[in-house]
Amino acid sequence: MLVLPHNGHVYTANWHPSGRLLATGASDGAHLWETKTGQRVSHLRTDEVTSLAFNPTGSLLATVSPTGVVRLWRDGELQDTLAGYCCAWHPAGTGLTVVMGTEVSRWDCVTQQTTAWFELASPATAASWSGDGQLLLVGGAAWRAGQVVELGHSGRLTSLALSPDGARYVTSALGHSAPVRDSATGSQLLSLEHGHSWFTGIDWSPNGQTIVTGSTDRHLRFFDAVTGTLRGVLQQPGWVCTVAFSPTGSWLATTADDDCARLLPNPDIGEAVSGRPR
């Protein structure tokens, strides 16, 4: 396990597509880390960063601040500033989807211009594209083939994750359960339960077999993505804020309220899921 210490609260993490770098968002901006050594290689100084994402080639990093500012960075240099509370890169690398309340816009990578796209029924704080670029989930709505469909969610979503094939998705909303739903209809297929603790982060493994969640009771939980069965638990030093599998699924990045991010290797994950003693 590698521990990545910060000088303040660390909210979120996102992997570079190569897996060689991890970006973390913290109270003093964004940090870039070598995942092989755990060494910090860059510090992008801004206000708080509560969400961030690399584009598909890893050449651009989008950071999001709670003040509604999206910043685009290339090689540590600020390239552009947009208005939004959440964002998601199109998997083809053509642009960035930006959400500001109920307004969804598109930033084009070639023209570097932002254009309005569509309006939501209610504000969204999370967005994600399917790998084939045919489906966009944004808050409680889905865009597909030019049509926007409200999926009937209640409550403010704190995070969402699509299955690798885009057929299902799972959401968390600071509650004790996380529903797994059909992407086409929004109908609930499973419910992942946390007992008396709140879900604070969620991700789907690249092989589609496991859903990992973080919670306020300082535990990671690993669920079977097909049956919803709890397969394993790992205790953490603090309230877990974010969980993120590496592109190959061989590492898991976590952030917690002890001002640290952590990289957990596959052996630790495997032992937790199999129930073998550590």
Residues 33 and 22: their CA atoms lie apart, in Å, by 5
**pLDDT recorded at residue 277:** 38
**pLDDT recorded at residue 275:** 55
User: Do residues 109 and 95 make contact, with C-beta atoms less than 8 angstroms apart?
Assistant: yes
Residue 201 gets the label, from left (phi > 0), alpha (psi -120 to 50) or beta, of: beta
User: What residues of the chain score a pLDDT lower than 70?
Assistant: 152-155, 174, 267-278
Residues 75 and 256: their CA atoms lie apart, in Å, by 27
**pLDDT recorded at residue 34:** 98
**Residue 139: both structure tokens together:** 């808050």
Geometric angle at alpha carbon 97, from 138 and 191, rounded to 5°: 25
**pLDDT recorded at residue 185:** 83
Structure pTM?
Answer: 0.93
Q: Which residues pair with 266 in a beta bridge?
A: none
**pLDDT recorded at residue 195:** 76
Q: Which residue's structure tokens are 């995070």? A: 159
Distance of alpha carbon 74 from its chain centroid, rounded? 20
CATH code where residue 53 lies: 2.130.10.10
**Residue 55: both structure tokens together:** 């584009």
Provide the number of structural domains found in the chain: 1
Residues 97 and 232: their CA atoms lie apart, in Å, by 35
Find the domain containing 7 and state its range.
2-274
Q: Which residue's structure tokens are 């799972």? A: 170
pLDDT digits (tens, 9 = 90+) for 67-108: 999 999 999 999 999 999 999 999 999 999 999 999 999 999
User: Do residues 89 and 129 make contact, with C-beta atoms less than 8 angstroms apart?
Assistant: yes
Give the CA radius of gyration of the chain.
17
**pLDDT recorded at residue 91:** 97
**pLDDT recorded at residue 173:** 75
**pLDDT recorded at residue 176:** 80
